[in-house]
Structure 1
């Protein structure tokens, strides 16, 4: 996203919500590192997450919002973000990014005692974290990793509109993918058609690669496409994410080339019923663990619980490699409650390594005041294609 993707009022509302939480936690400023959170606050869709970057976001609106990024991204942040000041490090010559951070903090008077620091899983190295900890050792540092994400779990009407556009791209691309599946075509060739359609229909590259498994590989949870050529009788699982301005929609479908075996049908029907049972319980005000238990019960009642090797579902966010997921999970230890405006995947699988067989259906669901809405409306039954 960029500063032009949403209105000033939308960004102002986000800033106010974050500052309310900051005030409650007695934080003078945040060091925001996760790219989705930086973009949530100030816009842009840069690739700068590959190296150290941060946004200094102040409690006091009169103070500057300052970005430190690698030098090559300064122009893009300057043009497309709401940052008041943008500084670059490295590029022409080697430079320590955390030493550059110290200079920026000093230059803008960010010597406050109470600091919120994001420590995201993917975007902050152990070495840089240690340097930041040493830099702030005399401050009162609060782990603010979840502060912004907790706010943005509930999507605004403008964000939901963006997600619906992404969903259109996902559904059209799934149709193109199923049209491309036939005997003799390789998994890579089908994946190439997916990527072509995602971009040709106005989308971005997805935050995570296409998963494509066929034949004996359907027992793999996240198998990448290979040179394997499709054969008559193949069971196929296909999953990908579409993205539009980095807002994501994920979809997964189970396909068979020719007549399915009884076991293929049994596994798929189990997964479909578990998915439906989960979605049926996804109402506003419901603890996230409740739909998880509904899906788990369906699979357990059929004696297949040991093959339920993946979470039931999770929040879908604006995505940056390697993930499009949010921290909210429909899982046994979840402390979250579903609320209108949340968008979650539903994907309880059955993957049986010893049988070299597995099934999975992936849908995205919008929580609404009047109940759950399935966004991914593409054929949800077992898709049987002619040989």
Structure 2
């Protein structure tokens, strides 16, 4: 029986508008049916997002009809949402049966004749995607179609990201309040994670990154049970989730005064963040915006330790991560145009071996007047 816990994060009209926007793109490209397999894209279009065991595909026809092909037991999720999502019909694949055979048969039945079929290949790991090619000339690459629609967030999406941002900020504040000499990074991670859940976060796509000392220079490492010493650099990076819309935030702390080098790294990153907030506007290219952040760091002589882009898109996400780099990013040599309603984790960071990772982070929505915070807190280096 359906309950209020099954409710979708947005009204049906928003999902139908997303579906119809995809249909328009399909018509422009002469595509009769799309085979989607990105969890994020299927969630964006329908409101159904599940960590299903086994393969899951959504076949969307140009006339707006759709059908799921998924493991038989996972089909229970679609039955529970019958009448609540526009794509509420599915084919179940029993355990031990060949998924590819069932999928191929369903596509042939659902889009018969000489239909032009497009399938997503962009969800394959980058390292191998270049080697994967359609086996039939009728199958074209649908990668990027739904991602294009996901770049600009609706007001309802931004509201969820803002709620998640405030939860994430509170978890960092609670972590800082609990920080004490000798506590382990694991104990600190427990505080941060407990705070997120206690303050309303849904299931996060990834646990927080929490660690201390020079080890923080290793990207995305997290707790290992190491005690935290006085003066050590402490990294806390959680992403809270509301209906799978994730807002990450990165904060930097220490017990007692950190090294002068750490403080200098933070000052440079904070200056870059402030410059970006002052100057980045819709209508710029991604490259132009990136150079605003990067030029500050370069002028201050810290370019050697700038090894990542200044900002990446955020939105609805599922494991293994919370970012939308494949949707949009602010990075050098990327010439997509920035638009109002795009949401980013803006985080100019510096990684120096032997010192650690230091940055200045603010999850933000891009408005006509520039970036606006989604977390409502201040960017400071916290010392206690």
Q: TM-score, normalised by structure 1?
A: 0.90
In 2, distance between residues paired with 1:122 and 1:364?
27
1:315 offset after TM fit, Å? 0.6
Distance change (3 Å), C-alpha of 1:3 and 1:15: farther
Q: Which stretch shifts more, 297-306 or 194-203? A: 194-203
- After superposition, give the CA deviation of every residue in 1:160-184 in whole Å (9 maximum; x if it has no partner): 1111221221122122221221111
Give the aligned partner of residue 91 of structure 2: 87
Aligned to 2:62: 59
Worse-matched range after superposition: 77-86 or 261-270: 77-86
1:334 equivalent in structure 2: 334
Pair 280,77 (structure 1): closer, same or farther in 2 beyond 3 Å: farther
- After TM superposition, the structure 1 = structure 2 runs for residues 225-304 of structure 1, keeping only pairs within 5 Å, are 225-304=223-302
Q: Distance in 1 between matches of 2:365 and 2:36?
A: 27
Change (3 A) 1:297 1:7: same
Structure 1 runs (4+) deviating above 6 angstroms are 123-127
Match of 1:343 in 2: 343
Instruction: Please point out which of 15, 21, 26 is paired with 1:22.
Output: 26
Mapping for residues 1-387 of structure 1, pairs under 5 Å: 4-48=8-52, 50-61=53-64, 64-80=65-81, 81-91=85-95, 94-122=96-124, 133-134=134-135, 137-139=136-138, 141-326=139-324, 327=326, 328-353=328-353, 355-385=354-384
Q: Assess, with a 3 A threshold, how the Cα gap between structure 1 residues 99 and 255 changes in structure 2: closer, same or farther.
A: same
Q: Return 5+ residue gaps in structure 1 as ranges.
A: none
Secondary structure, aligned partner of 1:164? helix
Shift of 1:121: 3.2
Residues matched between the structures, number: 374
Cα distance between partner residues in 2 of 1:112 and 1:15: 23
Q: Deviations over 1:106-145 (max 9, x none)?
A: 3334444312211133589979x96x933xx151x22111
TM-score, normalised by the number of residues in structure 2: 0.91
Q: Note the alpha carbon deviations across 1:226-273, whole angstroms, 9 max, x for none.
A: 111111111111111111110010100111110222222111101111
Is the CA contact 2:286–2:331 (under 8 Å) kept in the aligned structure 1?
Answer: yes
Q: 1:19 & 1:106 partners in 2: Cα distance? A: 19
Contact in 1 for aligned 2:165/2:247 (Cα 8 Å): yes
> Measured at CA, do residues 226 and 265 of structure 1 come closer, stay the same or move farther in structure 2, by a change above 3 Å?
same
Counterpart CA distance in 2 for 1:60 and 1:124 is: 32
Q: CA RMSD in A?
A: 2.2
Change over 3 Å in CA distance of 1:361–1:124 after alignment to 2 = closer
Q: CA deviation at 1:191?
A: 1.0
Which consecutive unaligned segments of at least 5 residues does structure 2 have? none
